[in-house]
Amino acid sequence: MKRKYLKKKKKKTKLVHRSARKEYQPKGVMTIMNPQPPLSMVLQSARMEMLKAANGVMQTYGLPPCLMDGIVSGLLADIRAQSSSELVRDIQNSAKDGETENE
């Protein structure tokens, strides 16, 4: 008598970005047990990461600080443009919300 071994069917797993998983905690976000750090600490951490990245770019491409200054100035202009467009979008959304409340 032959024994047939049943092969277990493999479950198909969906590819889900790690930020969508429940167990994923982004860097800097605290759990309920640990309250969020003060904003000054978050800003300082972000600043230090940006400084490390800038120094890494300078080393990788062999850029002197005077040239890096121009690159960072351009980045700042891009960030300010994003900030302005975000502010305009928020104002438009709040105006739309105000219109729907009045109806």
Q: What is the pTM of this model?
A: 0.54
DSSP string, 7-61: PPPPPP-----GGGSTT---TT---SSSPPPPHHHHHHHHHHHHHHHHHHHHHHH
Kindly tell me if the per-residue pLDDT of 44 is higher than 90.
yes
Which pLDDT tens digit goes with each residue over 7-36? 555 555 555 555 555 555 555 555 566 677
Which pLDDT tens digit goes with each residue over 77-95? 999 999 999 999 999 988 8
**Residue 30, CB-side half-sphere exposure with 13 Å CA sphere:** 10
